[in-house]
């Protein structure tokens, strides 16, 4: 059922069904007013792949106001999701839940050893199966719309200085199988991060054994890895390809009829120059500088970010394209007849506006990360302290906790997080008030504007 693939032609619309998702051309996966909780561990807490997705939806569907919530907690496991289900996830009253968990559930320290305990490895995987089943059951009943993510990979193939806990990703593939089974059992959506990340690693490591799509710690993907994950999410949920189609014919009526997701208001065909005014109803999706290397590995612009400009009747020659009197680039008549993807040109007014959407999304993510750092301490370290209202008492409690963590791993990380908690907890109310304002700002800067195109033959 979940992996069934159909192609249906109904009323002239091309509709695809893939992994349980059905979408028409430029129909949003998340309808207007959706509240989407992304649930997981530190990889979700990082916030990048879900922030990339918000950029896509905010630019592609500017009138569909959706709100993404980061519900990731560093170090979390499936049992932790159950414990914080009400206070950290369902408290948002989500319409959709997206869940990825597993990296910590497999107990990475059980691997990379000759004397590894096989029985314990099996037990933690059984616990994972039981706890994820319970979590998905609750999300399905309380939220309804659920998308499960096969977990991102642990890089056990790159030649890195970081110790290689070989076998961790084999265990994560067992977690991926569990997500597949749960998606069928509960009829949820399913997105596969494992396959694409492993493929890219394999291909690139054949050229450079030290390459990793994951960070050097073998666990946490960097920006490019997160972008690949966002791409796979769009692919497995059947996101639409076109930002817009501008197909310019001999007159206004012919152009409007052949075009898609645009409103062409004026068109003038004069000797050596073609001008038209139009409103494209979506914006191109920008890509952060830190993620752009991912475009070498995934055809994002071809599959999900096409702003097509096609001009059918042009004399032979070379042409300058102007948008709002800004020279964008020069093209041959053949290139314009075939069609160009304007999303590739960052000097267009449309792309420049889209970068403002990107900055608004990143600004929201940065503010939200302060809240997630507080939640990390509260759910991971303060569950044993009933009264957390007095920060002096909390600080004393955390200092004792820190002493107990001295001989374990990540001591400096905990020390930093505990100190941050004491410094930032009093600012929590102010940040929580700020978040809805920052979210609203995304839908203020993302409204498309009309532009004047001029295609002028070069001397």
What does the alpha-carbon distance between residue 149 and residue 96 come to, in Å, rounded to a whole number?
Answer: 13
Q: CB under 8 Å, gap of 24 or more: what pairs does 301-306 form?
A: 301/341, 301/343, 301/344, 302/241, 302/341, 303/234, 303/235, 303/241, 304/56, 304/231, 304/234, 304/235, 304/239, 304/240, 304/241, 305/243, 305/341, 305/343, 306/241, 306/242, 306/243, 306/341, 306/343
What does the alpha-carbon distance between residue 434 and residue 438 come to, in Å, rounded to a whole number?
Answer: 6
Reported as a single tens digit per residue, the pLDDT across 108-124 is 999 987 766 889 999 99
Reported as a single tens digit per residue, the pLDDT across 243-265 is 999 999 989 999 999 999 999 98
User: Residue 42: which of 108, 106, 122, 101 has the closest Cα?
Assistant: 101
What does the alpha-carbon distance between residue 39 and residue 85 come to, in Å, rounded to a whole number?
Answer: 10
User: Residue 151: which of 98, 84, 82, 216 has the closest Cα?
Assistant: 98
Domains in the chain, ordered, with CATH? 27-240 (3.40.50.1110), 243-352+446-457 (no CATH), 367-444 (no CATH)
Give the predicted TM-score (pTM) of the model.
0.91
Give the pLDDT of residue 25.
60
Note whether 135 and 146 are within 8 A (CB): no
Task: Provide the pairing of β-strand 318-323 with 273-280.
Answer: unpaired
Note whether 364 and 438 are within 8 A (CB): yes
Give the pLDDT of residue 406.
83
Note whether 417 and 369 are within 8 A (CB): no
Residue numbers of the chain with a pLDDT score lower than 70: 1-26, 115-116
Reported as a single tens digit per residue, the pLDDT across 39-78 is 999 999 998 999 999 999 999 999 999 999 999 999 999 9
What does the alpha-carbon distance between residue 31 and residue 364 come to, in Å, rounded to a whole number?
Answer: 20
Give the pLDDT of residue 6.
32
Give the pLDDT of residue 19.
39
What does the alpha-carbon distance between residue 145 and residue 395 come to, in Å, rounded to a whole number?
Answer: 40
What does the alpha-carbon distance between residue 61 and residue 264 come to, in Å, rounded to a whole number?
Answer: 19
Give the pLDDT of residue 2.
40
What does the alpha-carbon distance between residue 26 and residue 282 come to, in Å, rounded to a whole number?
Answer: 10
Give the pLDDT of residue 113.
76
What does the alpha-carbon distance between residue 162 and residue 274 come to, in Å, rounded to a whole number?
Answer: 59
């Amino acid at each position: 059922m979940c992996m069934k693939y159909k192609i249906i032609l109904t009323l002239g619309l091309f509709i695809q069904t893939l992994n349980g998702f059905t979408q028409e051309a430029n129909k949003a996966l998340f309808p207007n007013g959706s509240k989407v909780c992304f649930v997981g561990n530190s990889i979700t807490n990082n916030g990048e792949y879900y922030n990339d997705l918000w950029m896509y939806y905010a630019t592609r569907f500017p009138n569909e106001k959706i709100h993404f919530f980061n519900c990731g907690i560093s170090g979390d496991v499936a049992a932790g999701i159950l414990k914080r289900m009400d206070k950290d996830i369902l408290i948002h009253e989500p319409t959709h839940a997206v869940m990825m968990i597993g990296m910590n559930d497999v107990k990475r320290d059980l691997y990379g050893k000759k004397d590894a305990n096989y029985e314990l490895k099996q037990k933690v995987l059984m616990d994972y199966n039981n706890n994820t089943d319970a979590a998905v059951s609750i999300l399905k009943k309380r939220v309804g719309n659920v998308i499960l993510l096969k977990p991102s990979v642990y890089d056990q193939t790159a030649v890195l200085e970081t110790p290689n806990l070989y076998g961790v990703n084999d265990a994560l593939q067992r977690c991926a199988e569990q997500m597949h089974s749960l998606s069928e059992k509960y009829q949820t959506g399913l997105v596969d991060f494992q396959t694409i990340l492993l493929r890219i690693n394999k291909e690139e490591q054949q050229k450079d054994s030290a390459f990793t799509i994951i960070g050097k710690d073998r666990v946490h993907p960097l920006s490019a890895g997160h972008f690949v994950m966002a791409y796979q999410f769009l692919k497995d949920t059947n996101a639409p390809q076109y930002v817009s189609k501008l197909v310019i014919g001999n007159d206004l009526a012919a152009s409007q009829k052949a075009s898609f997701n645009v409103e062409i208001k004026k068109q003038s065909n004069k000797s050596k120059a073609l001008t038209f005014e139009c409103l494209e109803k979506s914006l191109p999706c920008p890509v952060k500088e830190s993620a752009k290397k991912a475009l070498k590995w995934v055809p994002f612009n071809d599959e999900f970010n096409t702003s097509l400009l096609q001009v059918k009747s042009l004399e032979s020659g070379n042409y300058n394209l102007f948008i709002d009197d800004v020279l964008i680039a020069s093209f041959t008549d053949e290139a314009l007849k075939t069609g160009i993807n304007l999303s590739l040109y960052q000097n267009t007014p449309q792309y420049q506006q889209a970068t403002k959407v990107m900055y608004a999304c990143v600004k929201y993510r940065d503010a939200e990360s302060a809240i997630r750092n507080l939640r990390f301490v509260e759910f991971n370290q303060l569950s044993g302290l009933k009264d957390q209202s007095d920060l002096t008492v909390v600080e004393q409690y955390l200092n004792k906790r820190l002493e107990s963590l001295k001989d374990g791993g990540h001591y400096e990380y905990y020390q930093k997080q505990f100190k941050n908690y004491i410094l930032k907890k009093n600012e929590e109310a102010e940040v929580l008030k700020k978040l809805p304002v920052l979210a609203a700002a995304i839908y203020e800067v993302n409204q498309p504007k009309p532009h004047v195109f001029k295609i002028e033959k070069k001397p």
